[in-house]
Structure 1
């Protein structure tokens, strides 16, 4: 009886280990793929403001065609990152920070901005940040920041771009 159960127990342990290992590793692997793809066209620690989505220009899997996307792949190894954005009047917009594990570490939308510019600093634990600035502590040095702006019609993109392009990511010196 034990001779029959022992191989089944080994298979069960290996299967469970593989399952949980995949669950633990998949978010990191997916984010690494996304970061690698994005950094081919978007410099690290800088926003790249993309034109409206079309089938041949999809940097996000299944993006929404009624949203304008800006992306900032980030790396905090050189220091904290200042993220600024201005809400687009009369439009839904948001800034989201995703860490290396794909966790949403921060989000702010136009209603929360209440028409005022947003300024936050992303930092790892232990990194010095300027006094009085809203700080978001993240657990991993790399990730992706997305800005999204809702359009009623794709033709509105040209009018929205000057405001959207005010969003910036920049490494803080020293």
Structure 2
């Protein structure tokens, strides 16, 4: 029995260390994959995706009745402004995810009163425009995701102009 104790403890230690490393690092790897799939327009630029189909699913289990717009952001060059213009009479929401896949901010059209709004995403210590609504994060990278509810898939063409009013970009002026 004693001959097995050392290898058993070593095996348990390796298993625990492996599990800890997986729990710690897998979310970052998943976020990198999501940023690559959703960032057709590049980093700090809003992309306006097509509707999900069985053949085209950029993320796991996308909803076929939602039009997605996404902005993979990188704060290493400064804060990023996310401008959202809700579509009248339609449910929409903005969700911000950090590099660890945690949701750090959510707002829907009702909470916004149906009016356009701007959110500044910034790291601690980064200067932001005075009076700006700011979401602070501990990570440089993440994804801003806007969802727009459709009544039927064919409506997306008529709503594209409205979707393109939402944008994201690096903050260049602090006034």
Query: TM class, shorter-chain normalised?
Result: over 0.9
How big is the shift at 1:108?
A: 0.7
Answering whether residue 62 of structure 2 is matched by residue 56 of structure 1, we say no
Q: TM-score, normalised by structure 1?
A: 0.94
Matched position secondary structure for 1:60: coil
How big is the shift at 1:90?
A: 1.6
How big is the shift at 1:173?
A: 1.4
> How many residues matched?
173
Answering whether residue 38 of structure 2 is matched by residue 35 of structure 1, we say no
Deviation readout 1:125-173 (Å, 9 max, x if unpaired): 1100001010000111111111100111011112222222111101011
8 Å CA contact 1:42, 1:73 repeated in 2: no
How big is the shift at 1:89?
A: 1.6
Over aligned residues, Cα RMSD in angstroms? 1.3
Deviation readout 1:30-89 (Å, 9 max, x if unpaired): 1112223333x2211111112222223321222110000001111111110011111112
Answering whether residue 15 of structure 2 is matched by residue 5 of structure 1, we say no
8 Å CA contact 2:38, 2:47 repeated in 1: no
How big is the shift at 1:114?
A: 0.9
Q: Which residue of 2 aligns with 1:81?
A: 80
How big is the shift at 1:2?
A: 3.1
8 Å CA contact 1:42, 1:71 repeated in 2: no
Q: TM-score, normalised by structure 2?
A: 0.93
Q: Which residue of 1 aligns with 2:122?
A: 123
How big is the shift at 1:115?
A: 1.2
Q: Which runs of 5+ in 2 are unaligned?
A: none
